[in-house]
Copies of this chain bind each other. A is one copy, B any other.
Amino acid sequence: MSKLLTDLIEALRCLPGVGGKSAQRMAFHLLERERERGLRLASALEQAMQRIGNCTRCRNFSEEPVCSICASSSRDRHVLCVVESPTELAAIEQATGYRGQYFVLLGRLSPLDGLGPEELGLGLLTERLAEGEIEEMIIATNPTVEGEATAHYLAQLARAAGVKPTRLAHGVPLGGELEYVDRGTLAHAFGSRQSL
């Protein structure tokens, strides 16, 4: 098989859920029928990998210094939802009618992995709470052991700043990841979030 083709098949395996056989099918499909779209994908990948950074205010993915949610004048400035990752932010945006602000931890407290308050940007979060606009902090970390420990730590931070911490309602399956929860369950859990 041609070297460039072998390289392409190998490279496609970086995609989650794509094994050798799917990768080969994808490569042949693009070469036989979709070269223009294949080139557009190459360009979109390059641009995204190189230019998407993190919002300086909420740490969500953004190619601008401040993301569109933080920059929006139509979002509620009194509620802040804290999530572990941009994936989970997207899941909440798509499943719920939430119109407040976000803060993305880009991880969860995990001392063994070297993830402490500094890595999670908790200094930036503390400054944000100190601005005085936020009244409620919705803690939407995952219901895993580390996610719960992180939630506990965040609730203390909130209380220290005079902000009311809330947590998503039961409904999210224990041990599950928000990313894989169906929209209905996630929307329900979001709506019935409870005071901590």
Contacts and interface: CB of A to CB of B under 8 A. Distances in A.
Interface stretch (A11-19, A117-125, A129-137, A151-159): A11-19
Given A24-B90, A90-B24, A41 B14 contact: yes
Interface string A1-37: 1111101101110111100001011111111101101
| Dominant secondary structure of chain A at its interface with chain B | helix
Contacts of A27: 48
A179 to B, nearest CB: 8
B34 A38 contact: no
A189 B45 CA distance: 41
Contact of A15 (B26, B42, B48): B26
Given A2-B68, A32-B87, A85-B32, A7 B42 contact: no
A144 interface: no
A184 to B, nearest CB: 15
What class of interface size applies to chain A in its complex with B?
35 or more
A39 interface: yes
A146 interface: no
A67 interface: yes
A63 B4 contact: yes
B86 A48 contact: no
B63 A3 contact: yes
